[in-house]
Amino acid sequence: MENEIEKILKKILKVKSLKNVTSKNCKSWDSIAQMTIVMEIEENFKIQLTEKDFSSLNTVDKIKKFLKKKIKN
């Protein structure tokens, strides 16, 4: 699953490495990218995110943690 998340994020953010990437330190991570991330994640993992999830998922680590937890449940 982690591989899949990374593949999606690399594609959307157009970066080679995701190490310590956050919406603050990554230029390409704007509101459009955030929207695309949500659309891709929802469809790939067949989940629906709330508005709250949407705005809190602003670093690569947070996205990974969130999805691990969400999919376990």
Partner 1 sequence: MNNKKKLLICSNITLNPIDSIINEKNKFIKVQIANFDNIWIEAISSDIENIFIHCDILNISPKIRFEFNNLNYCDKIDKFLEKQLLSLKKKNLKTKKRIFFSTMTDVIFAQGVFYKNINKIVNNFNQIVTENFETINLNYIIAEIGLENSFKASNLYRFSTPYTIKFLNRLSENIIDLLLEDELVKQKVLILDCDNTIWKGVLGEDGERNIQFNNTPIGNCFFEVQKNAINLTKNGVILCLCTKNNSEDIKKLLGKNLMPINLKNTSIIKANWDDKSENIKSISKELNLGLDSFVFIDDSEFELSEVKNKLPMVKTYSVPKDIYNYPNFFRKNITKLFNNKNFTLEDKKRVNYYRYEINRKKHLEKFENKEKFIDSLKLRLKVSTDKQNKNYISRISQMTQKTNQFNLTTKRYAEDDIKNFINIKDVKVFTGDVSDKFGDHGKTILAIIKKEKKSFIIDTFLMSCRVIGRELEKSFFDAILNKIKKYKLPIYGTYLKTDKNEQVKDFYQKLGFNLLMKNKNSTYYILDTKKFNYKFSSRKIKIIYGK
Interaction of residue 26 with partner 1, rule CB under 8 A: no
What is the number of H-type helices and E-type strands within the chain? 4, 0
User: Cα–Cα distance between 6 and 2 in angstroms, integer?
Assistant: 6
The yes or no reply on residue 36 touching partner 1 (CB under 8 A) is yes
Taking CB under 8 A as the criterion, the residue among 19, 48, 52, 69 binding partner 1 is 48
- The DSSP letter of residue 36 is H
Distance CA 36, CA 8 (A): 10
4 binds partner 1 (CB under 8 A): no
Please, what is the minimum distance in Å from the beta carbon of residue 57 to partner 1?
A: 14
Q: Can residue 11 be called a binding residue for partner 1 (CB under 8 A)? A: yes
Q: Which two tokens stand for residue 12?
A: 């959307």
Residues of the shown chain interacting with partner 1 in the complex, contacts defined by CB under 8 A: 11-12, 14, 32-33, 35-36, 38-40, 43-44, 48
